[in-house]
Every structure is written in C-alpha cells, then in structure tokens.
Amino acid sequence: FSGDAPNGDTGTVSFKTGDSVNGTAGDVWFAVGSSTMGKTVAQNGTLGGNVIITSGEVKDTQSVGGMVAITGGLGSSTDEWDGGDGGAVVITGGEALGGNSTIDFGGDVRMYGGRAMSSYGGNIEVISGEGVATSSGSVIMGTADSGG
C-alpha cells in the first residue's frame, strides 16, 4: 500500500520475484480465497471475491489515464533449432458447475473499448502475431458447439 501525498508523487507498489540463474524464477499469484457464505446475490447465491485491476485516474487537462497492460513473457532464446517462444495471455471466463441447464452459465469474457464524451470511443483490436520469417498468425473467432 502506498500512502497519499498532498504535495507530490505517491510511492510505487511493486511485486517482483527474484532472478534465477540455474532455475525458474518464481511466480506471482494474486488469488482470492473460496467462499462458503458471505455477500449474496438476488437469487440467494453467494458471491465469490473479485480481483480488480484498475489503472490510475488523472485529473489534469491534456492528460491520459493510466494503462493496464497484460503481456505474455518474452522467450528470448535466439537458438535457431528451438529458441524461445513468447508466453500466451489467456483470459478465460469462469467455469460453471451448476446443474441447471437454463441458468447455470459459464462466465463471459467481455472486451469494451473506452467511452469518450466528445470524440470516438476506443477501438477493440484483435490482431494476430507477426511471423517475421513466415506468415502471421490467424485470427480465429467462433462459438462453441451447443450441448443439445
């Protein structure tokens, strides 16, 4: 936690594992514990805890709010036989184990462009990866088959 600063910059909060020379650098996990009872929703179910990542607000003129960037790891080996591969970024909606085929849905994955009061809203870009020596990756969009 970084404190408030009425006349200057606030501190930085940083989470980083140590470097490893002859092993694997450690993981960083953010996780919320499981819920048995707690806050409830209208259908009398219990809500699980959320993980919310929000970048910084800025109030000055001619300014831009902070960015949230999620980037897969760099595979930096340049070995020509089997060099490093870039790490994937996976965003997955939550699995639903409920037995009601009408109301127990899997979690959605939603992407929204940013709202603009006076100009155009933010774009949603889905762009495949560049293949420097070959073709670029595919953009694949589709729906899963239904169960019935």
* 10-residue mean pLDDT series, the chain (148 residues): 76 82 84 68 64 82 82 86 85 85 84 83 86 85 76
Among 78, 141, 74, 62, which residue's Cα sits nearest to residue 109?
Answer: 141
State how far Cα 147 lies from the chain centre: 28
List 40's β-bridge partners, or say none. Answer: 46
- DSSP for 22-36? SS-PPP--------S
Q: d(Cα 126, Cα 89) in Å, to the nearest integer?
A: 13
Collect all residues with Cβ–Cβ distance below 8 Å to 135 and sequence separation of at least 6: none
Predicted local distance difference test score (pLDDT) of residue 43: 56
Amino acid making up residue 73 = G
Cα–Cα distance measured from residue 141 to residue 104, given in angstroms and rounded to the nearest whole number? 24
pLDDT of residue 6: 80
* Rounded CA separation 111/125 (Å): 10
Determine the Cα–Cα distance for residues 55 and 146; give it in Å rounded to an integer.
37
118 is written with which tokens? 């006076």
Q: What torsion do the CA atoms of 9, 5, 52, 140 make, to the nearest 10 degrees?
A: -20
pLDDT of 1: 65
pLDDT in tens, 83-107: 888 888 888 888 888 888 888 888 8
